[in-house]
Amino acid sequence: MTKKTENPQTEFPKFVVAEKEAGERLDKFLQVKLKDFSRTDIQKLIVDGKVIAAGSVAKKNLRLTEGMHVALSALPQKEASELKPEKMPLHIVYEDDDVAVIFKPRGIVVHPGNGAATGTLAAGLLHYFKDKLSSVNGPLRPGIVHRLDKDTPGLMVVAKNDKAHRSLAHQLETRTLHRKYEALIWGHPRDLSGEIELPVGRDPKSRIRMAVVKNGKFAKTRYKAKTFFAIATLMEYELDTGRTHQIRVHSRYTGHPIVGDPVYDGRESSLSRVPPLYHSTAEILLKMAPAQLLQAVEITFSHPRTRKKMTFSVPLEKPFAEAVQFLEKECLQSAPTFDEDTSFRDFAETEINNPYLEEEIVEDEEEYPYEEEPVKERLTRAERLEIKKERRKKRKAIEAEKREKKERRDAEKRGETYVPKSEIVTGYEPTIDPSFL
């Protein structure tokens, strides 16, 4: 049996590991002992170095042994069990008895957590809608079906009753609720459209950001280039999954961080890769970007009651729109250019010391409760090169198919029989019967 050590000089608990508890992971052990706190709270306490095991600062994946002494030097800050309504301006795009579509501005946290106790969108919704919100996600997330990062503005759908919530959650799970985003990225993507299918999980080197990791959760992002500028590209993204920071992680991994992103190398660390001719333009652009220039511009779902497909869209928020207008005036291009000397692609290969990393805490994943996993390894360089090789191979096959279709159409217009290049025999010289000479 585990014994709690008595010590009148400290208010923080201490434990001794019993025989039956040997082999357990530290975070699970403490979750049983500290029933008033969530596992996420306990994991944060361990990461912050507030747990001592066997006389040393403990790691979150530590396995316990019989007789091991475990001591805490602090307790997690307990979240409020109730959400207090707060009056705040809400931009409601659409509302009926079952759902509401709202525009979340930049700088607003969706729900309490990670130190954000007040000023959340959830508190504003509770003040406006009162008891007309779903309770599926608990008292701290009334009506919240999905979320957006604090500094990502855009459209969200809110459930006004539990039945509507379950319908919308099912659409998220089956990927029939569609969300489109626009973002301004540094540089020009090699492929003008396509899909990024790379697993996303916690960055083993940083507690506050995500990364492409071997054993991460499946993540799929579809993209399309819309407008090219000398130093950046306006992109459209559509999510098939909803992992934390998914677009931001995939953009950085492919070598094109989102302009202004303080966590994923979208600010000053990107300036060295801008052509000297446009360096001052890039500096002005960064001053115009309060954070990552990313916005949820469109949402499509089936109404929970009528089953009617509904689509809502909004224009870009003012700072984002002004940044695009500035680039259109300064350095608009009709097509992408690729300069290996000023490529942004080495973001996929290197880690950069980032002074902004302490400014943002990674929130739990959008659609599924977060469960800590053992530290994961990044994909190796060889694995990344193999992924790129497969992409190039796929792209060449698509281009060859397009050329063949065009050549076939052109031949039909001329009244000729089209013969694919793959069927043409080369290097053959016919022999001539002398009797015909």
Round to the nearest angstrom and report the end-to-end CA distance of the chain: 107
* Domain range list for the chain: 3-72, 91-381, 384-423
Closest C-alpha to 27, from 53, 3, 6? 53
Instruction: Give Dmax (Cα) for the chain.
Output: 118
Q: 87 pairs with which residues across the strands? A: none
Beta carbons within 8 Å of 198's beta carbon, 6+ residues apart: 212, 219, 250, 253, 387
Integer angstrom CA distances of residue 99 from 38, 232, 248, 410, 428: 30, 37, 28, 52, 71
The span from the CA of 268 to the CA of 266, in Å, is 7
Would you say 104 and 148 are in contact if contact means Cβ atoms under 8 Å apart?
A: yes
Give the per-residue SS3 of 97-147.
Answer: CCEEEEEECCCCCCCCECCECCCCHHHHHHHHHCCCCCCCCCCCCCCECCC
Q: 71 pairs with which residues across the strands? A: 14, 52
Beta carbons within 8 Å of 142's beta carbon, 6+ residues apart: 83, 122, 125, 126, 129, 133, 134, 135
Would you say 72 and 33 are in contact if contact means Cβ atoms under 8 Å apart?
A: no
* pLDDT score for 39: 73
The span from the CA of 341 to the CA of 327, in Å, is 22
* pLDDT score for 401: 82
> Does the model's pTM come out above 0.75?
no
* pLDDT score for 354: 40
Cα angle for residues 236, 241, 246 (degrees, 5° grid): 65
**Catalytic amino acids?**
149
Cα angle for residues 377, 194, 323 (degrees, 5° grid): 90
To the question of domain 91-381 being in CATH 3.40.50.720, the answer is no
* pLDDT score for 77: 65
Query: Average pLDDT by consecutive 10-residue portion of the chain (437 residues)?
Result: 43 85 88 77 83 84 89 72 85 96 93 74 92 88 91 96 94 92 95 92 83 89 96 95 93 94 89 88 95 97 96 96 96 74 47 38 38 47 78 82 83 77 54 50
What is the dihedral sign for C-alpha 50, 109, 361, 44?
positive
CATH code for the structural domain at 3-72:
3.10.290.10
Q: 239 pairs with which residues across the strands? A: 221
The span from the CA of 70 to the CA of 392, in Å, is 52
* pLDDT score for 302: 96
Q: Which contacts of 279-282 are long-range, i.e. CB under 8 A and separated by 24 or more positions?
A: 281/230, 281/231, 281/327, 281/330, 281/331, 282/231
